Amino acid sequence: MESFSKVLLLVNPLAGGGRGRYWAPLLEEALKRKGLSVHCQLLEPYEDLNRVIEECSADLILVAAGDGTFHKVINAWINGEKRPPLSLIPIGTGNVFAANMGIPMRPLEALEALLKGQIRRLDLGSVDGQLFHSTLGVGFDAYVVHKIEEGSPNHRFKRIFGALTYIFEALRHMRHYQWSQVHLKALLSDGSSQTWDRNSWLILINNMAAYAGGFRVTPDARPDDGLLDLCVLPAQKKTDYLLFAFLGLLGLHLRHPDVLYEQIRQVSITAERPLPSQLDGERGPQTPLTAQVIPSALPVLQPPNPHRTPRHPDPCFRITRITPSG
């Protein structure tokens, strides 16, 4: 168990449909009962996170929020002179990072587990100067993220439906999205290079096994292995979106012969037209872009003996592509 004296508690009051404002005083009081000095900051939309982190000079940063706010905190934290360990108390909509790290989903239980945990150094992904802790998505999922931001689903809707908000929005926008021909050039785990050309509707470059909604799209991903996991989902028609989403839900997508899955150190992506990207659920740059791993860059406080995400199922069963004869 690690020892800390001063904690910076950063809370997004709008996280999880507005639950952050409710949890802030409860979490602050729980930390104080542990004998810790606490500075609690409710984050405004355009908060200067660099200033908040530097001025507090804490030896632990706890972020009570979702994946997007944690993403922003990390991108501010990396620029600081002092970089204390961080962790996430999940009160967001998706909570992908917490699910992968074995952090309980109830905030007070999460806090209790984290304070009994230990520091683990995780990799980060980097794309065009921005960092991501869990996932970089290029194509359809980024298109949906952008549409959600433009439409701004109200907080009550997100509070009631949670992660289902993204599924509703994906189904709503699916018919408007057109797949694209993409070119990928990657540096593989063994140091060799490989290129591919694909018709794709979604490219994922993940640091974690589980993706939004708990889909284990990149089941071999480990956040401390010095690698990123690349998964390219193909498309020849719009019904393929539903097919591969369903296969992903069942954990069967890697058995399809047209799915590309590789462990990489770096990848460059170009497309026949600029494609949107998302980093941990936040807007990212358009293609062309280059992503790479930064090994052991992030000291994270993790619960003791967290549940490990399993690798993909027995590969003996495989989906085959059936083509008409004649």
Which distant-in-sequence residues (6+ apart) come within 8 Å of 38 by Cβ? 6, 7, 9, 28, 31, 32
d(CA 84, CA 110): 19
pLDDT at 309: 44
The structure tokens listed for 184 are: 């990928």
Task: Kindly report the average pLDDT of the chain as a whole number.
Answer: 85
Q: Give pLDDT tens digits for 111-165.
A: 999 999 999 999 999 999 999 999 999 998 888 887 777 665 554 445 444 555 5
* Secondary structure of residue 18 in the 3-state scheme: helix
Which distant-in-sequence residues (6+ apart) come within 8 Å of 276 by Cβ? 138, 139, 142, 143, 145, 146, 283, 284, 286
CATH topology of domain 130-297: Tumour Suppressor Smad4 (2.60.200)
pLDDT at 157: 47
Please say whether the structural domain 6-116 has been given the CATH code 3.40.50.10330: yes
d(CA 52, CA 215): 35
pLDDT at 176: 74
pTM of the model: 0.86
Most confident of 14-18, 140-144, 199-203, 305-309: 199-203
Give residue limits of the domains in the chain: 6-116, 130-297
Buried b (16+ CB within 10 A) or exposed e, 130-141: bbbbbbbbbbbb
Q: Are 226 and 302 in contact (CB under 8 A)?
A: no
d(CA 104, CA 14): 20
Residue 319 burial (10 A CB sphere; 0-12, 13-18, 19+): middle
Question: For 74-98, what is the mean pLDDT?
Answer: 92
pLDDT at 84: 95
Find the range with the poorest average confidence among 20-34, 167-181, 259-273.
167-181
∠ CA 191-197-202, nearest 5°, is: 95
